[in-house]
Structure 1
Amino acid sequence: MNSADRGTGPGRLDRYRARVFEERRRLRTAFADPAGHQRRVLTDLLEFNAGTEYGRAHGFGRIRTVDDFRRAVPVQGYADLEPWIERAAAGADGVLTADPPALFFTSSGSTGARKKIPVTPRFMRTSFFPFYYAAWAPLIEHFPEVLDHPDAVLNLKQDPLSAPPTTASGRPHVGASQVDFGAAFGEPLAAEPGTGARWAALPVPVDPDAHLEKTYLRLRLAVESDIRCVIGINPAMVAAVPHQLNLWWERIVKEIRDGTVGGVPHGEPNPERAAELAGYADRHGTVRPAQVWPRVRALFCWTTGLASLYLPRLREEFGPGVTLLPAPVAASEGPVGVALDRHASAGSLVVTASLYEFADADEDLGPDTPTLLPHELEPGRDYHVIFSHVGGLYRYAVGDVVRVVDRADGVPRLEYTGRATRSDHAGERLRDGHVVRALRAALDATGLEVLNAACRVGRRDGTLAAYDFAVAPRLPWSEDETHRVGVLLDAALGRESAGYRAARDQGRLGALSLRTLSRDAFVTDWQRSVADGVRPTQVKDRIFRQDPAQWARLTGTDEETRP
């Protein structure tokens, strides 16, 4: 295979740009007839997979309409499909899909479970790649210099494995960031920006599970490069970078001066760059990404949820003119929305990728839950996402909640608000979105800022349930400010959730407590999780933290002395 076939030869960037913009054009064209494309997606998945065990069991060959499909297939989650998936993972053919899965994606790790998400060639070709290329259009269009050289992008989520774990049938069972799409699916142009950087394949031996050391080594190499863009997808990874620079600064500077990486000689010593970098800390007492990489132009990550509270200030750490671009609304199981312009948070529904259904996020999902189609969604409302695609997931409740921001070009634009999981100890039925919006209201009313936040349910006097909140203020708060934010937050939660308001009014839930932590508390906790062996992409912001040991580690408190 020659270099042009691998997508690395002359003209590769021109072909890449052309593909990105063409996929965005096709998607925008599809918006002229979203209902028609939804029908075609359904027809394709039914016809292609009619002969599978699942297709025969659910009468795919007799289904003609969405209503037929709803009657034949229940709304379901991973646990419902797991027996079918496990058989496919063990090597059985024709279980869920006509074409065998080429690999299995792991879940993102939000629940700690390692799901096996089947990934078929047909799914990648018809559902994944068109959306995937289009997702990069705003970055490539407005910041073309990020492609000028391989080391221009620090892609924090890239984590290739030389020996990936496998299922019982020998197929890779990995995260999407660990897959070489070119090799696996014949898509040589599919390499993300930054995956060709010199730190993509680390030049020194390192244990594959030593995630924190791998993070250090990539940052050590990137510090000597002219970074223009940082890609994190998971914003907690981006938020960790300023902390990591300061944490590892002396080691980084020494290794640059000595010409080593991880203590191993690599390249030439660079005393000039080392002296330049050392000067930043000497003059300012701290180091900021904007000093190390003064020409950063964009950050690419999720911009909603808890991240919406801290990203404006985090952006400033990378430079006053840096743009935040939202990563797609998507899961390991499939795409939902993709930003086709520079909207701050929302992505257009990918009507060509899956058949989409939605349900009111405040309702519990069940097999017979009534669902809405895209044209029935209302702006300003939160919904469960349910999708069906040719890759073997049928009426699959992915567990994410999205909010309809508006409608553009005939389709809803959606932003991710959090997981569908509720905190419900006294009938309050709180979701991520409730808490984030309540926090924002309390902070806006006081002019205060936080770098992250979390909560759990504790007990007052050993009996009454009540929420304990922990926040990391950007600047220290006075006792009066802390008290006022707590009062406003309690009231805002009541406005967001009727269940919370009723539980408080009826005395089933006590008044919340609010404690402030150090500004580095959450990123330090993130570092500990990565040091414990969790992949950085899987260590996400989490609002609800009910595990006593994890709460004690975050807050630095003894569980026996909690209020």
Structure 2
Amino acid sequence: MGLKAALSKPFAAFVVKGINKWKKNALKAQEETLQYLVKTASQTAFGKDHQFQSIQSYQDFKANVPVRDYEDLRPYIDRVVAGESDVLWKGKPAYFAKTSGTTSGVKYIPISKESMPEHIKAARNALLTYIHETGKADFVNGKMIFLQGSPILTKKNGINVGRLSGIVAHLVPAYLQKNRLPSYQTNCIEDWEEKVEAIVGETLNEDMTLISGIPPWVQMYFDRLSEKANGKKIKDIFKNFSLFVYGGVNYEPYRAKIEASIGKKIDAIETYPASEGFIAYQDSQSDKSLLLLAKAGIFYEFIPADEYYNEIPTRLSLAEVELDKNYALILNTSAGLWGYSIGDTVKFVSKNPYKILVTGRIKHFISAFGEHVIGEEVEQAILSVANTEGIEITEFTVAPQVNPPDGELPYHEWFVEFANEPKDLKTFSEKVDLALQKKNIYYFDLIEGKILQKLMIRSLKKDAFVNYMRAEGKLGGQNKVPRLSNDRKLAEVLEKYTR
């Protein structure tokens, strides 16, 4: 065992002891966080507009601060971007994380000197928690790769602007810098396919022990590696590769293919980072749920997902949530986001400690007929069948077909790229449909009532989704294919890729 690995174990034990302390007192940590946020921002423009000085409780906070998405909060954010101080948070942001929104165009998410360390600490603690639980620390002595956006930062009124992953690249602790790949020059390549080729060239002969990234783009990296190494499995290219860290999408639809590429099962850690804050991470290899970070400069609120579009939806604190219920996640952060709807839905699977699963996006659902099918349901439906039958799925998305051309009953249309296609696609489709009926009672009722016919699966050509993302200029980085759409915009594009 190398020196870094040996030193990491007592450090991990120390850090986990502190985590366990706030895990047991998560509600108190949340109360203290709300008090800190409100007090710190009381003299900002937003704090004055929303009477922060009069807020004494969560009930007061709800009464004074409405729920907003980016577009609703934009008048304040635009003032921050223009260079004004003390608008949403004290002073000016340390960074703007630049993201692409479907309705808001380019978004500038403020990151403060108080919030940035929480991103770094959470990523570190996810690894230290893993070391403490498993005793496996040798990976810290090898090379680590983080497939991420470009670290090139620009300036906007004196504030550094970049992708979150690019910002974080500048803040990796010194003790990890020598182990880290790819090189800065390679990381700066904007074209994703050119970048992947360069990363393959830099890493092919290295001792890679940890690989991190969004699963579909990691799969692309693995495919290119295997091609360069005459078809070798990843385990034979990187003999000490032992840990995969991922986030951004549910791993399960990609697990089978990634593990097939690696050639063995491998430990994996799911993380839930966002430009708005680092929200949760997987803290046990025996449990796929994520530990909600109750002491990380974020005060969380939750709206029952089926009430989200109500005129006055119910807003709940952590103390009021129920298990196995879908909630839209609302953030209040130490970067000055208030009542901020991040767009994700989560459900709690434990309250001791508070642990969640990310179930989808509040805007990514199908409810053309009132069924409100969500991402978690379609993923579980197709995977339950595919895993039983040994079918590997590369990627998929689902859309409603409201007006079939031949006057048939409407249906859900699935566009699926298979790594190995079922021998009988019709039978496979029927099994997926039955699985979805079991997951969603409203969908079951619509099928039984002959309002909908059973779903149809369209098999797509190899690399269909890669080609689609390339055409959209969204290949690689933090970009993801939406699992569900309530319209046919994506479906109409994908029709040209059907077999």
Q: Same fold (TM over 0.5)?
A: yes
Residue pair 1:24, 1:340 contacting (<8 A) in 2 also: no
Aligned partners of 1:352, 1:446: CA distance in 2, in Å? Answer: 43
Cα distance 1:557–1:531, how it changes in 2: closer, same or farther (>3 A)?
closer
- What residue in structure 1 maps to residue 303 of structure 2? 359
- What residue in structure 2 maps to residue 314 of structure 1? 258
Larger radius of gyration: 1
1:388-407 superposed Cα distances (whole Å, 9 cap, x missing partner): 12211112121111132334
**Which one is further off, 58-67 or 444-453?**
444-453
Residue pair 1:442, 1:489 contacting (<8 A) in 2 also: yes
1:89-117 superposed Cα distances (whole Å, 9 cap, x missing partner): 11011110113111111237687843111
- What residue in structure 2 maps to residue 90 of structure 1? 82
Aligned partners of 1:426, 1:50: CA distance in 2, in Å? Answer: 45
1:100-145 superposed Cα distances (whole Å, 9 cap, x missing partner): 11111123768784311111112224x4344233122145554422
> Which residue, 233, 238, 249 being the options, matches 1:288?
233
Deviation of 1:16 after TM superposition, in Å, equals 7.6
Residue pair 2:93, 2:111 contacting (<8 A) in 1 also: yes
Residue 489 (structure 1) aligned with residue 432 (structure 2): yes
- What residue in structure 2 maps to residue 412 of structure 1? 354
Aligned partners of 1:137, 1:552: CA distance in 2, in Å? Answer: 45
> Which residue, 24, 27, 51 being the options, matches 1:35?
27
Aligned partners of 1:53, 1:366: CA distance in 2, in Å? Answer: 28
Residue 236 (structure 1) aligned with residue 180 (structure 2): no
Helix, strand or coil for the counterpart of 2:371? coil
Higher fraction of strand: 2
- What residue in structure 2 maps to residue 537 of structure 1? 477
> Which residue, 172, 181, 201 being the options, matches 1:220?
201
Helix, strand or coil for the counterpart of 1:537? coil
- What residue in structure 1 maps to residue 184 of structure 2? 201
Deviation of 1:545 after TM superposition, in Å, equals 5.5
Aligned partners of 1:311, 1:245: CA distance in 2, in Å? Answer: 18
Amino acid in the other structure paired with 2:243: A
Cα distance 1:106–1:509, how it changes in 2: closer, same or farther (>3 A)?
farther
Residue pair 2:234, 2:262 contacting (<8 A) in 1 also: yes
Task: Provide structure 2 residue ranges, at least 5 long, that are not aligned to the other structure.
Answer: none
Aligned partners of 1:417, 1:46: CA distance in 2, in Å? Answer: 30
Residue 172 (structure 1) aligned with residue 163 (structure 2): no
- What residue in structure 2 maps to residue 461 of structure 1? 405
Helix, strand or coil for the counterpart of 1:491? helix
Question: How large is the RMSD of aligned CA atoms in angstroms?
Answer: 3.2
Cα distance 1:21–1:112, how it changes in 2: closer, same or farther (>3 A)?
farther
Deviation of 1:228 after TM superposition, in Å, equals 1.3
- 1:425-444 alignment to 2 at 5 Å? 425-443=368-386
1:290-330 superposed Cα distances (whole Å, 9 cap, x missing partner): 2322221111113963x31331441242242521222x223
Residue 68 (structure 1) aligned with residue 60 (structure 2): yes
Task: Provide structure 1 residue ranges, at least 5 long, that are not aligned to the other structure.
Answer: 1-10, 250-276
Aligned partners of 1:108, 1:297: CA distance in 2, in Å? Answer: 33
Residues matched between the structures, number = 491
1:506-557 superposed Cα distances (whole Å, 9 cap, x missing partner): 5543432112335x435xx326635764362232243136786854664544
**Which one is further off, 130-139 or 51-60?**
130-139
Aligned partners of 2:4, 2:83: CA distance in 1, in Å? Answer: 36
Deviation of 1:362 after TM superposition, in Å, equals 2.9
1:471-523 superposed Cα distances (whole Å, 9 cap, x missing partner): 233433222xx2222223223333333443444445543432112335x435x
Deviation of 1:331 after TM superposition, in Å, equals 1.7
1:422-463 superposed Cα distances (whole Å, 9 cap, x missing partner): 223232322212211222344356564423322222331266
Cα distance 1:303–1:395, how it changes in 2: closer, same or farther (>3 A)?
closer
TM-score, normalisation: structure 1: 0.78
Residue pair 2:208, 2:238 contacting (<8 A) in 1 also: yes
Helix, strand or coil for the counterpart of 2:115? helix
- What residue in structure 2 maps to residue 273 of structure 1? none
- What residue in structure 1 maps to residue 326 of structure 2? 382
**Which one is further off, 445-454 or 368-377?**
445-454
- What residue in structure 1 maps to residue 125 of structure 2? 134
1:24-58 superposed Cα distances (whole Å, 9 cap, x missing partner): 43222112222211111011001100001110111
- 1:487-526 alignment to 2 at 5 Å? 487-518=430-461, 520-521=462-463, 525-526=465-466
> Which residue, 42, 51, 54 being the options, matches 1:59?
51
Helix, strand or coil for the counterpart of 2:68? coil
Cα distance 1:470–1:289, how it changes in 2: closer, same or farther (>3 A)?
same
Aligned partners of 1:181, 1:517: CA distance in 2, in Å? Answer: 36
**Which one is further off, 507-516 or 541-550?**
541-550
Cα distance 1:490–1:476, how it changes in 2: closer, same or farther (>3 A)?
closer
Residue pair 1:226, 1:295 contacting (<8 A) in 2 also: yes
Helix, strand or coil for the counterpart of 1:538? coil
Residue pair 1:21, 1:134 contacting (<8 A) in 2 also: no
Cα distance 1:139–1:533, how it changes in 2: closer, same or farther (>3 A)?
farther
1:272-296 superposed Cα distances (whole Å, 9 cap, x missing partner): xxxxx4xxx2xxxx34322322221
Aligned partners of 1:71, 1:181: CA distance in 2, in Å? Answer: 39
Cα distance 1:546–1:67, how it changes in 2: closer, same or farther (>3 A)?
closer
Aligned partners of 2:67, 2:98: CA distance in 1, in Å? Answer: 22
Residue pair 1:52, 1:96 contacting (<8 A) in 2 also: yes
Helix, strand or coil for the counterpart of 1:230? strand
Residue pair 1:202, 1:217 contacting (<8 A) in 2 also: no
Helix, strand or coil for the counterpart of 1:29? helix
Amino acid in the other structure paired with 1:172: N
Aligned partners of 1:105, 1:223: CA distance in 2, in Å? Answer: 31
Amino acid in the other structure paired with 1:145: D
Aligned partners of 1:190, 1:67: CA distance in 2, in Å? Answer: 44
TM-score, normalisation: structure 2: 0.87
- 1:86-125 alignment to 2 at 5 Å? 86-107=78-99, 113-125=105-117
Residue pair 1:315, 1:324 contacting (<8 A) in 2 also: no
Residue 155 (structure 1) aligned with residue 146 (structure 2): yes
Residue pair 2:348, 2:356 contacting (<8 A) in 1 also: yes
Helix, strand or coil for the counterpart of 2:339? strand
Deviation of 1:469 after TM superposition, in Å, equals 1.0
- What residue in structure 2 maps to residue 345 of structure 1? 288
Amino acid in the other structure paired with 1:42: L
Amino acid in the other structure paired with 2:216: A
Residue 50 (structure 1) aligned with residue 42 (structure 2): yes
Cα distance 1:444–1:245, how it changes in 2: closer, same or farther (>3 A)?
closer
- What residue in structure 2 maps to residue 334 of structure 1? 277
Aligned partners of 1:71, 1:197: CA distance in 2, in Å? Answer: 47
